[in-house]
Every structure is written in C-alpha cells, then in structure tokens.
Amino acid sequence: MEQNQPDHTIKETTRIEAFSDGVFAIAITLLVLELIATLYPHSEEPLLKATMHHWRSFLAFVIGFVTILICWINHHTAFEYIRRVDTNLMWINGMLLFVVTLTPFPTAILAEYLQSEGGTAVAFFGFNYVLIGIAAYSICIYSYRHHLIDEADRPFFAVYQRLYLYSIFYTIIAFLLCFVSIVVPIIMYAILFTFFAAPKVCARKLYNKRLRS
C-alpha cells in the first residue's frame, strides 16, 4: 500500500462521519433562507428587477455554498486517514461543525453590508475562515499526535496537516487586509478556494517533493 493511499478496512469513525455529513448538509440548506427572503420585497418591483436588486444575496449564497462544500471535502479527506476516534476528537470535530453551522450568519452579513460597509463585511466573513482553519488543523494535529492514524499513513498525513497550519496564518493575513483593501483579500480567498478544493492532490505534491529532496 502506498503511504499516500489510505487503508479502506473497517474503522471506528463511521458514526462521527455520518453525523458530520448531516450537519454539513443542514448548514448548506440554511444558506438558501437568505435567498427566500428576497421573495418578499418591500416594494412592488417586478420579479426580474427585484432579483437583480438582490444580486448580493445570490453572490453571498454562492460563496457560502462553496465554503461549506470545500470544508466538507477537506473533512472527508482527513477522515479517510483517521482510523480511530476518542472523546476529545469528538469535541474537536464538534468545534469544526459549530463553525460550519455558523457560516450562514456571516454569509448573510456579507450579503446585507457588502455595498455599504464592504471592508467590515468581508472581514466579518473572513474571520470565519480563520476559525475554520483552526478547527480543521486541530482535528488533524490531534489525530496525528494521538496516533489515531495508521502508522503507514503517518508520513503523508504529517504533510497533509501542515496545509491547515499554513491556512491559519494565511487567513489571518487576509483578515487583517480586509481593513485596508477589499480587492486583495477577495483575491486571496479565491486562491484559498482553489488550493483547498483538492487538498489531497496538493498534499501529495508536497509529499512527493519532500521524498525527492
């Protein structure tokens, strides 16, 4: 078995993964409530005009959806390698789920205040990314240090968990830049989306690079 390919034998994390998947699904569903609110305009605008008037809500929905989807992809990838679970990991995983379920709130703020207070709105939303990075790293580093991963997978997972350590510093920088510029942090978040859309691919490249060196 290659070190960057997890063993697919029976493991202990099935229930925690199933519960987490349900929370992710509910969090994504909650995002659409902001769009439903646009069906009740305060004026007698035609449907098309009213829809265009609420473009910020549609943009925030897409950003929030992608955020939660990428979180789920990364959570799923991490638990491909995490074989065992203990009470502490359940609580740490719960911290991540808490932040994920919180995501619709800063998404709604982003939609409401993007035009009037863009910097503050983006910063409020960006701080959520800092919390997500901390929670994701906590899951990975705890699992690694407490040997909840098979020994054969540990060298690759050591590289994988570093991605989240780097993401914490990255999102903190992007958060601070929100108070200086809106464009720069938005570009940084777009890069972050691209990078963590396929975390295993990125980790494998870093892992292979380390092997060659």
What is the phi/psi pair of residue 51, to 5°? -65, -45
Which tokens is 165 given?
């350590």
Q: Which residues of 111-147 are buried (b: 16+ CB within 10 A; e: fewer)?
A: bebbeeebbebbbbbbbbbbbbbbbbbbbbbbbbeee
From 110, 93, 111, select the one nearest 56 (Cα to Cα): 111
Task: Quick: pLDDT tens for 184-196.
Answer: 998 999 999 999 9
Task: Quick: pLDDT tens for 69-105.
Answer: 999 999 999 999 999 999 999 999 999 999 999 988 8
pLDDT of residue 4 exceeding 60: no
Whether pTM > 0.75 for this model: the answer is yes
65 compared with 43, residue with greater pLDDT = 65
Q: Where do the structural domains in the chain lie, given as residue ranges?
A: 14-212
